Amino acid sequence: MAELMNLKDYIVTGKLEDAKAVVNDAIAAGADAQDIINNYLIKGMEEIGKRFDEGQAFVPNLLLAARAMKGCLEILKPLLADASSASLGTLVIGTVKGDLHDIGKNLVASMLEGCGFEVINLGVDISDQQFVEAVKKYNPQIVCLSALLTTTMNYMQNVIETLSAEGLRDQVKVLVGGAPVNEEFAMKIGADGYSSNANAAVILAKRVLQAC
């Protein structure tokens, strides 16, 4: 199964069709789906994340890698005895009410999904009650709130307060991000963490899950 040795590189370089071809051939040859995920796909995403941090890769590279990872996961997940074992955890993400920006939020969602999270992307202009309904429906471990405007960032606190009022706050970690948001603001509104970019969001999500 020498072809599997190329799979990590195909993820890093975002070669979707090449990556899918290797996965299909490996499965036909008897490779274990979970081993492919753990030893090749996730390692590829970790490598592109590292390159991004070091300034050797950029946002388009992250998007292509995440797309390649997602394409491979679609092949592998049905083959797992317990499909949930392929997921690091479930995560709900959305841009808060009054804000229609979604490019950054979608990049974060793609990276998280590519790194093994089950991502429920609610979209934009999401109210506190919609976040509450999503938590009740999907039972996520993490809720991610995004805002790009200074006029909407304060709504993140509304979401956190409503989660508390509904008795759901202790069930989830709340992470925030977006251009006007910073670490100080995150702590002020009672969030569990803040990330400044998509790769940092993946690292943060993994860290808070380990603390659960």
Determine the pLDDT at residue 2.
Answer: 60
Contact 212, 91 (CB under 8 A): no
Residue 137 has a pLDDT of: 98
Decide if 138 contacts 171 (C-beta within 8 A).
no
Amino acid at residue number 147: A
Measured from the Cβ of residue 73, the count of other Cβ atoms closer than 10 Å reads 19
pLDDT of residue 9: 96
- Structure tokens belonging to residue 135: 């938590």
Distance CA 155, CA 160 (A): 9
Q: Counting Cβ atoms within 10 Å, is residue 143 exposed (0-12), middle (13-18) or buried (19+)? A: buried
Beta-strand runs (E) in the chain:
90-96, 118-126, 142-146, 173-177, 193-194
Contacts of 11 (CB under 8 A, 6+ apart): 19, 40, 41, 44, 45, 47, 48, 65, 68, 69, 72
How confident is the model at residue 111, as a pLDDT?
A: 86
Q: Write down the pLDDT at residue 82.
A: 57
pLDDT at 32: 92
First to last CA, the chain: 37
**Averages of pLDDT over each 10 residues, the chain, 212 residues:** 86 97 95 90 89 91 90 87 68 97 88 87 98 98 96 97 98 96 97 92 92 66
What's the distance, CA 18 to chain centroid?
Answer: 23
Listing from the earlier edge strand, what are the strands of the sheet with 90-96?
118-126, 90-96, 142-146, 173-177, 193-194
